[in-house]
Amino acid sequence: MIIPKRNIAIFEARKTGRTFRDIGLEHGLSVERTRQICVQVERRLARASEPEALDGLSVRVQNCLFNATGTHDLTPEEIAQLPASFLLDQYNFGKTSLAELRLWLQKRGLEMNDLPTARPLNSKLAETWAKALRKRGWTVIPPPPTNEQRG
């Protein structure tokens, strides 16, 4: 992430309590443009501190994953467990998005699951997938209980 030095200087000046007007006069900018730069730098810094779980994926693929699962908190391992056929059924998710996702997973040493029998890593995600798969006519068989569940 590259933030121009001028924008960082404007943001730092604002953090010290200076007004947008004073900062704008110093840099030859309008009050509104100074405010916009401060907002932009703040957003970029906030985004840089977020977990990089989906870093490197296009916005389209990230949005499709969110629409399919209902969460932004997906790990690459959870994404790899999503069946390709399930993703291809999502609005705006096509062959190009699937190819991008496969490449992204390969860079992390993971492979895309092509079968609808994957076991999700968390129960909320499992319920979301099962509901979506049933809606599309799949028969969802619950996984066998783990040793902890047996007692």
Per-residue pLDDT tens digits for 94-112: 888 888 998 888 888 888 8
Which tokens sit at 120?
Answer: 């999700």
> What whole-number distance in Å separates Cα of residue 82 and Cα of residue 115?
9
| pLDDT at residue number 27 | 95
| pLDDT at residue number 121 | 52
| pLDDT at residue number 143 | 59
> What whole-number distance in Å separates Cα of residue 34 and Cα of residue 47?
20
Which of the residues in the chain have pLDDT under 70?
1, 47-53, 114-126, 129, 136, 138-151
Query: 30-65 burial, b if ≥16 CB within 10 A, otherwise e?
Result: eeeebbebbeebeeeeeeeeeeeebeebeeebbbbb
**CA torsion through residues 78, 79, 80, 82, sign:** positive
> What whole-number distance in Å separates Cα of residue 151 and Cα of residue 138?
30
Mean pLDDT of the chain: 80
Nearest to 69 by CA among 86, 55, 52: 86
